Structure 1
């Protein structure tokens, strides 16, 4: 399917805030694709690591693993996808190849962070990882912006700095280096004071050019809060994994304990509905159209 590459920028021009849902697998992407309230998808490194490998978000999957997952998601999407590409897996030169790989996989945008590699997800640890220098990080953003394959590819620069002054300084540097949007981590908004006002101040300081991820300490943000803050993009990054994990665990534990499926205290998918959602009827149509029927 895959979206036209100009769609994301058109949505950003038309809407005050573009809304995405995060995921790490193609079936979640396919569901998001059918839900009218979402403009696009964010491939979540946290979710990808959890669903594909059963591991924490500590850059334990490779660039190839990530590209493959994004390619599968984009194949079932006609909404734009923004790819979480962690630290871009190396230095500024490596970043060029990384961004190009994700563009070829179908991503309409990428998120690059300024942690050292291997990174550690800031909502998974109490002690934050070390960041590279602002100058090196800006060089990676400039390399990404100047060497993207498509002019419409969105470059989002994330800083994992929690000190407000330094976070803002870095964010401005990254915008000057060619980032389209900047992104702070949740811990930079929640250390002290009013969380909503802290985010609003960052958005205003960046002239609205902010990507906001609703996770970690930001889960309590309401629709009214987001409409007040006015980020250019707002990602509900961990919705599928946060609600899938307890449901899966409950179903599997029930069967493990009772050795039967009957009575699992959860809603069960209708098999025909699931098969149709996955597109089996289309496979049948394609078989009839393209495979010759030979009488034996």
Structure 2
């Protein structure tokens, strides 16, 4: 079962940069969980929409759809899970129900953004969506902070403000409203120096999604910017799409699995990774001997 908010807070204090990988299903979450030097897991809205619906990240899935993915991911991992809960699925009152649902699913933290609903992921469109009036956005963060079941649940407030000065202003207000970390979008900045200035100005730990132009940065450059969390949100969905596309094209052309152009996990190894040995142990412990029951 996934780690708690208390454990996430402890790890955030210990790590210079807390590294997560974005996932859209339990299989990818389990891979990230069993990979050394990955600190936590982000259930990415983009990845969830892609993996579960085959659609772009435009809030086309419901809160229940999102909670279902988070619940399944949390059930098979030990590392802390941070859930991308989009706009919180409603107003300040609705967000209380939302954060509690994700807490019950096992999330140690949540990311809440200040776009209007339904949102549109900034990396899916040329122009970002409208953002809420700052008073309403602040109220939503305050409601989330007051309404969470466990006060250790980490709240990350994301602003989609495109103007760096406005992003800083909003981040400070969200911090004062109860956010534990603040998060800008990469489109609001053009250089590492601008992002570093944001981190230095907000007087709060910063969560940073490594997408767009940030994907070309080295780890040393990310360190220079200075975030507390670095989310590699699209790593698994991008890799899975490329690998699966090449595998399916090979079968379409060759009608064989031989000489696949992408690496294949051995079936026995995959079954073991998924946990079949533990299932077999439980069967031996709890199920009657089939020979005695069925006479064979």
TM-score normalized by the length of structure 2? 0.96
Give the structure 2 partner of residue 96 of structure 1. 96
Question: How do 1:216-227 residues align onto structure 2 when only pairs under 5 Å count?
Answer: 216-227=212-223
Aligned residues: 292
Cα deviation, residue 209, structure 1: 1.2
Instruction: Give yes or no for contact 1:203–1:209 (8 Å, CA) kept in 2.
Output: yes
Question: How do 1:263-278 residues align onto structure 2 when only pairs under 5 Å count?
Answer: 263-278=259-274
Cα deviation, residue 216, structure 1: 1.3
Find runs of 4+ consecutive structure 1 residues off by over 4 angstroms: none
Give me the whole-angstrom Cα distance separating, in 2, the residues matched to 1:122 and 1:29. 23
Instruction: Give yes or no for contact 1:25–1:73 (8 Å, CA) kept in 2.
Output: yes
Question: How do 1:41-120 residues align onto structure 2 when only pairs under 5 Å count?
Answer: 41-120=41-120
Give me the whole-angstrom Cα distance separating, in 1, the residues matched to 2:127 and 2:224. 31
Cα deviation, residue 260, structure 1: 1.9
Give me the whole-angstrom Cα distance separating, in 1, the residues matched to 2:238 and 2:197. 29
- 226, 229, 236: which is aligned to 2:225? 229
Change in Cα spacing, 1:169 to 1:4, as seen in structure 2 (3 Å) is: closer
Give me the whole-angstrom Cα distance separating, in 2, the residues matched to 1:145 and 1:34. 31
Cα deviation, residue 5, structure 1: 3.2
SS of equivalent to 1:234: strand
Give me the whole-angstrom Cα distance separating, in 2, the residues matched to 1:252 and 1:155. 40
Cα deviation, residue 117, structure 1: 0.5
Cα deviation, residue 293, structure 1: 3.4
Instruction: Give yes or no for contact 1:208–1:230 (8 Å, CA) kept in 2.
Output: no
- Gaps (5+ residues) in structure 1? none
Residue 175 of structure 2 corresponds to residue 162 of structure 1:
no
Instruction: Give yes or no for contact 1:208–1:232 (8 Å, CA) kept in 2.
Output: no
How well do the aligned residues superpose, as a CA RMSD in angstroms? 1.1
Give me the whole-angstrom Cα distance separating, in 1, the residues matched to 2:35 and 2:265. 18
TM-score normalized by the length of structure 1? 0.96
